[in-house]
A = this chain, B = another copy of it.
Amino acid sequence: MQATSIFEPVQERLQDVGESLKGMAADRFPYLATLLDHIFATPGKRVRPALTLLASNFHDHDERITHAMATAVELLHIATLIHDDTVDDSDLRRGRATVSNLWGGNAAVLVGDYLFAASATFVCDTVDVRVIKRFAETIMKLSAGELQEMSVSFSPDQSMEMYLDRIYNKTASLFTTAGESGALLSGASDADVRALKDYSCNLGMAFQIVDDILDIDGTEEEIGKPVGNDLLHGIITLPTLLAMRRHPQSTLISDFFRNKEDTSLLQEAISLIRDASVIEEAYQVAKEYSSKSLEALSTIPANPSRDALEELVGYVTIRRT
């Protein structure tokens, strides 16, 4: 199953979002235009703007407003990826060279800033100060989540609560804002806004948990980066937490954190975590979130967009990329 086929009810509008993004390179000075062309050349999965557009599809409304919001949401996501790749010193993103790889970390920091700001100008076109402020607060959460992750990297002493709080900040917060703002800006009732917000938040949690599972359980080809990349960077995610809980006597993870260069320790740690029953347990946690996501949808009127949102939950949980 492809995300693109799920997004059928908003396919054209997602293409318009892509066009708005590509249009940003026009009239910029050559260096910036080159950077922007590279950045917008490969379309992502577009899950977040699809969420905004699908969540807006339950009420007639001025579609220019939700177009602006969906564009803002995708642009914000792209800006965060550029800074994340810079911070992680990643050379590749979905098999393509990153901005920091091609133009250096400094250009990546500045063009990321530029895109953060550009996303804010799009959100201003919604002319809804509540939504604009929520958007700015979401940027704070995204960077706080990354800072939380960095502050405990290579520290083996972490709790499930810390992990869940962090993935809410770094991922689910933007999913929440994407879905909630789509509902709000289309004029949905308070109850529907709440339901679509809950749906999106739980979807975002499931999405990040599956991401964290794939990091250890996927193949390098599927995930486009080395298997165990999180652990290599000292980041403890759900599968690692569950493996540590299962093997309370094992010092493998903390041994590796103390000897970061020891690749055989890393491989042993990966094997410990990659255990089928650990992975199964991690998927169970993801499924608890996706069930909550589906439950939240139950009060929303049935239409093709609700069907798509339902399918999206399934896709997020079984995807391999």
Asked if B139 and A106 sit within 8 Å, CB to CB, the answer is no
Q: How far is the CA of A132 from the CA of B148 in the complex (A)?
A: 28
Q: Tell me the smallest distance from the CB of A124 to a CB of chain B, in Å.
A: 4
Question: Contacts A121-B137, A136-B124, A137-B121 known; A83 to B144 CB distance under 8 Å?
Answer: no
- Chain B residues in 8 Å Cβ range of A144: 28-29, 32, 114
Question: Contacts A111-B143, A113-B116, A140-B118 known; A127 to B129 CB distance under 8 Å?
Answer: yes
Asked if A120 and B148 sit within 8 Å, CB to CB, the answer is no
A244 is an interface residue with CB less than 8 A from chain B: no
Choose among B109, B111, B147 the residue that contacts A114 (Cβ–Cβ < 8 A).
Answer: B147
Which A1-46 residues have C-beta < 8 A from chain B? 28-32, 35
Asked if B129 and A117 sit within 8 Å, CB to CB, the answer is no
Q: Tell me the smallest distance from the CB of A177 to a CB of chain B, in Å.
A: 12
Asked if A150 and B120 sit within 8 Å, CB to CB, the answer is no
Which residue in chain B gives the minimum CB-CB distance to A146? B110
Asked if A117 and B137 sit within 8 Å, CB to CB, the answer is yes
Q: Tell me the smallest distance from the CB of A241 to a CB of chain B, in Å.
A: 18
A87 is an interface residue with CB less than 8 A from chain B: yes
Q: Tell me the smallest distance from the CB of A89 to a CB of chain B, in Å.
A: 9
A107 is an interface residue with CB less than 8 A from chain B: yes
Which A98-130 residues have C-beta < 8 A from chain B? 105-107, 109-114, 116-118, 120-121, 124-125, 127, 129
- Chain B residues in 8 Å Cβ range of A35: 147
Asked if B129 and A116 sit within 8 Å, CB to CB, the answer is no
Which residue in chain B gives the minimum CB-CB distance to A130? B124
Asked if A117 and B133 sit within 8 Å, CB to CB, the answer is no
A86 is an interface residue with CB less than 8 A from chain B: yes
Asked if B129 and A114 sit within 8 Å, CB to CB, the answer is no
Q: Tell me the smallest distance from the CB of A164 to a CB of chain B, in Å.
A: 14
Binding site for B on A (CB under 8 A): 28-32, 35, 83, 86-87, 105-107, 109-114, 116-118, 120-121, 124-125, 127, 129, 132-133, 136-140, 142-144, 146-148, 150-151
Known: A114-B140, A117-B140. 20 other contacts (CB 8 A): A29-B148, A30-B151, A31-B148, A31-B151, A32-B147, A32-B151, A83-B109, A86-B109, A87-B106, A105-B105, A107-B147, A110-B143, A111-B147, A113-B113, A113-B143, A114-B144, A116-B116, A117-B136, A120-B139, A121-B136
